[in-house]
A and B are shown apart, each in its own frame.
Chain A
Amino acid sequence: MSDPVPYIVLCNGAAPGSVCSADQFVHCLHLDYRQLPEIEQTVRLALPKFVGSVYYLPPRILDLLEIAGYVYCADRSVSRGSKSAVEYHKWARSYHYLIKVRDHAFWQQPHVGKLLNELLTFLSGDQQHQMTFLSGHATPPSSLFDREDFTVDSGEDTEVMLFSGGLDSLSGAVEHLATTGKRLCLVSHQSYQPATARTQEQLVRAFNKRYPGRVRHFRYECSLRGPRARDETQRTRFFLYTSIAYAVAHAFDKRALYVYENGVTSLNFPKRQDLRSARASRTTHPKTIHLLKQFLSLVAEAPFEIVTPFFWRTKTDVLYVLQRQGRTDLLSSAVSCSKTFKTDIGRTHCGGCSQCVDRRFATYAAGLENCDIPGNYVLDSIREPVPPDENKTTLVDFLRQAQRFDAASLDSFYRDRMNELAEVVDYLDGMDEQAAVESLFSLCHRHGAQVMEAIRRIQQLHDDPRRSIPEASLLDIVHRREYLEEPEGTVTVRQDNAPFEVFYSYSHRDETLRDELEKHLSLLRREKVITGWHDRRIGAGTEWEGEIDEHLNSARIILLLISSDFLASDYCWDVEVKRVMERHEAKEARVIPVILRECDWHRAPFGKLQALPTDARPVRSRHWHSEDEAFTSIAKGIRAAAEALRQDGSS
């Protein structure tokens, strides 16, 4: 098998000329973002708009932003081969870029291209990212202020950080704002992902509300316009991200930028043999960070730092930061999912990718599961059957790795992970080999222990020993209870202290209020007085009507969340209310109307039932000092109802 023929990538109108031989033209990509009549615009790169936000950037940094954009787009253009290939030889591609630049004297230096190649091949797992730089590129000023003598505010008391809108960067920003008193420039790359952009903007608004005038958000839009490869990855995106942050840092005269990412994710030790060669991404791997620092220092012609304050923390540790700073309210707004294209309306996470799995376990380990709404996940891998597809591979391998980390000794960790450790230890600044290995072991071991703790907590919260566990659910995967399979002919006796299932009948327009109510009932759930169910718990691909019926028929307490939208909902009215009242009349269930908003509900079939909160005063009304007060009244009422049911059962 011979080396792959490189993809020739012609950028900014570069012509191959004498640089490439004829046989290198097997694969050729033309990438250009310039809006000129004779050029096909294959890349969307909002460089003038970005420059406008910082007034002026020198030619070398403009070049850097273009180079990073082109590398990112070339990465997305070329297939990495099928996931079902026998061997993955197409994974490692070979590129030769010909790029016209402004600061040719700088870029043409051999050591610059060599370092860039080393960085990009390590980051992407590709064979080669060779660069040939050509002179003769220029673009007009982006505005009247695009002049060297115009600068943004002083960078004093300002730091620059990457901001993806995920949990780690959210916690990093929160910690920074809460503990330093400095201003923060958040930097994001935006491709055509409106949901991601919305998430970032929502979080920035929340920061600005709490810390007025201290947060600025810089966005750089860059996306591929031409066809994308079928089996694409975006392993080089981090180079684009850091290049943008470097540009902002330069504008503020800073010599460092911050990257907040927990160490376990940064190391991303492969969980399977086929995950070698950066198929487990090395985005913030210490070697990547080291090479980037070297490269950006070359660009800056001065030492440039990339600070990674969360490297010695786990995902759970990162959540403790939010908890410590009292900002767990932001948790469910942060989006960690790497497969947002698999989500649907109203749900921000696929639930099955490695980031979603990591996040779910971390929230349980930190005791913050109630702050991360399960309804945000298309697949609730904690409580629902996990389909036998890549979601299960991801979940099981995540657990296997955590289990091994938890059980490891320093010796076994050293033996089992020597191959990966050899790629890390030289890049942990200021640490000798022994200190580095011991610290890495401690980090991974803590992560393993936290995941095991999360499993114990999940079992405590969701594992009812008297009920069978849904097949292929997490609890089934970690601890199948074969001993519970009943011999034929036995009679199931309901235990008196089993929790009562609570069914929420509500309009989706009242989802936020339902979420709040669930939070207020969390103590009752922890005490195993109740378990809750609503239609957001329905798994992907499940027949939803059947599942609603099942729970409607099994719940012992049924909450009707009343509002004008509930009254207007045909499904609530025609199906649920009808069946609920039948069960109420047969004394099979306790039905409680919960009045959320003012409406004319008294003449409804459930109008004669005792409603909550106290005196049926709507949650959203002036009768309460706060919604919390109203929900507390409801929680008390539900506890009393559960106790009454228990007494009825035992008498």
Chain B
Amino acid sequence: MGHERVGVLPKTKRWQSIVGQIASSSRADFDVSALTRQTIQNVRQRFRNLQDDNATKAAFTFLVNLAVSSRPPDPHQLAQLLHTDPERVTPLQLAKALHLFISQAGGLPEYSAVAEGAAVDALALWYEHNRTKQQNLFDSFDSAYSVWHKAGNGPGFCELSRLFFGKMVERYLNYFLEREASRVTPTLQARNLFRERLELHLDDISRHAFETSKITQSYAAGWFNRYAAGGMPSEQEIERFISYAFGKLQDELIREAQDK
């Protein structure tokens, strides 16, 4: 009871170079962008597999569905989508519906765990950023609906997508880096610092890819307005968006490291 399987990174040179970089993460000259770039390069083909996996598609489809169904001023369409009573829908209920949706998609278990976690992160962060002080965590759906309603337009959808894709990359990188980080950083403080630096860097990257880079922002908003205007976009359109968003993030990760 309470067992944990402690994983490690492969003993190959390119992975051990990553371990070496983590070990020096508390030094002032530590370059987090070089670390993330090299990690992504180490798993370049696998990163593509993750993008193409059914679980990733299902997670993003769920979020698109959420945004599309949140456009009307009343919550019934979203409640119908989730096969539930509007009174019973809370962020946690959405997370449960998401779990179920992904579990039925037939993705690989390893990728399902990453996609599920990232999509729930996106829901949780969206709710936290958009709820008013009067709204508590357990408000019934009717009174909390205004929070989700904000995702039902171009800019709202763009932000929800940014949160999701940013967290996908973060969780996927942590799937590797966290195996060794606590072992090789010297102190608890250094370990926490490493986590914060990585989190901030990836938030910056996703922000840059989706906001500062107006191309993506207009692409996301335009995509949503064009393909989601009359209901759910087609599967092909969703796949195209996923491919575009991951490509943009990957470019950003590599460019950021090269600029230094």
Contact = CB atoms under 8 A, between A and B. Distances in A.
Interface of A: 1, 80, 83-89, 91-92, 125, 127, 164, 166, 168, 233, 235, 238, 261, 265-266, 268, 271-277, 279-281, 283-284, 338, 353-355, 358, 388-390, 392-397, 399-400, 403, 410-411, 414-416, 418-419, 421-423, 425-426, 433-434, 437, 472, 476-480
B229 interface: no
Contact of A83 (B7, B109, B176, B188): B7
Nearest to B10: A84
Contacts of B255: none
Contacts of A437: 92, 137-138
Nearest to A455: B188
Contacts of B179: 272, 274, 393
27 contacts: A84-B9, A86-B176, A87-B110, A233-B5, A266-B1, A268-B4, A272-B174, A272-B179, A273-B171, A273-B174, A273-B175, A275-B4, A279-B7, A281-B3, A284-B1, A354-B2, A392-B182, A393-B182, A394-B4, A397-B182, A400-B192, A410-B137, A418-B91, A418-B95, A472-B186, A477-B188, A480-B187
Nearest to A264: B2
Nearest to B182: A396
Nearest to B180: A393
A273 B5 CA distance: 12
Interface stretch (B123-131, B236-244, B245-253): B123-131
Contacts of B92: 414, 418, 421-422, 425, 433, 437
A239 B31 CA distance: 47
A411 B128 contact: yes
B95 A419 contact: yes
A86 B49 CA distance: 13
B11 interface: yes
Given A83-B7, A273-B117, A418-B121, 9 more contacts: A84-B9, A87-B46, A276-B113, A277-B109, A279-B7, A418-B92, A434-B137, A477-B186, A480-B186
Contacts of A1: 49, 108
B214 interface: no
Q: Which of B186, B188, B192 has the largest number of chain A CB atoms within 10 A? A: B188
Contacts of B184: 388
B102 to A, nearest CB: 11
A273 B118 CA distance: 11
Contacts of B95: 418-419, 421-422
Interface in B80-109: 90-93, 95-96, 98-99, 108-109
A261 B2 CA distance: 10
A265 B3 CA distance: 9
Contact of A415 (B128, B175, B180): B128
Interface string B188-204: 11011000000000000
A414 B124 contact: yes
B175 A476 contact: no
A265 B93 CA distance: 24
A277 B128 CA distance: 27
B5 A83 contact: yes
B120 interface: yes
B211 interface: no
Given A400-B191, A422-B120, A393 B2 contact: no
Contacts of A472: 186
Contact of A393 (B6, B117, B174): B6
A395 B174 CA distance: 18
Contacts of B15: 86
Nearest to B109: A92
Contacts of B93: 433
B116 interface: yes
B191 A396 contact: yes
Nearest to A275: B4
B191 to A, nearest CB: 6
Nearest to B106: A3
A437 B93 CA distance: 12
B7 A394 contact: no
B183 A84 contact: no
A317 to B, nearest CB: 15
Contacts of B110: 87-89, 91-92, 276-277
A419 B10 contact: no
Q: Which of A86, A273, A400, A478 has the largest number of chain B CB atoms within 10 A? A: A273
Given A271-B4, A273-B175, A419-B121, A85 B182 contact: no
Given A233-B5, A280-B4, A418 B43 contact: no
Contacts of A477: 186-188
A58 B99 CA distance: 39
A112 B183 CA distance: 44
B99 A354 contact: no
Contacts of A166: 1
A237 to B, nearest CB: 10
Nearest to A1: B108
Nearest to B185: A396
A400 B46 contact: no
Contacts of B90: 433
Nearest to A169: B1
A261 B182 contact: no
B178 interface: yes
A355 B98 CA distance: 32
A421 B182 CA distance: 25
Given A276-B117, A419-B120, A86 B46 contact: yes
Given A261-B1, A276-B113, A419-B121, A399 B188 contact: yes
Given A88-B110, A273-B117, A433-B92, A281 B4 contact: yes
A563 to B, nearest CB: 40
B183 A393 contact: yes
Nearest to A3: B106
A274 B137 contact: no
A268 B42 CA distance: 31
Contacts of B2: 265, 268, 281, 283, 338, 354-355, 358
Contacts of A83: 5-8
Nearest to B23: A388
Interface in B135-193: 137-138, 171, 174-176, 178-180, 182-189, 191-192
A1 B2 CA distance: 31
Contacts of B123: 418
Q: Which of B5, B120, B121, B180 has the largest number of chain A CB atoms within 10 A? A: B5
B64 to A, nearest CB: 20
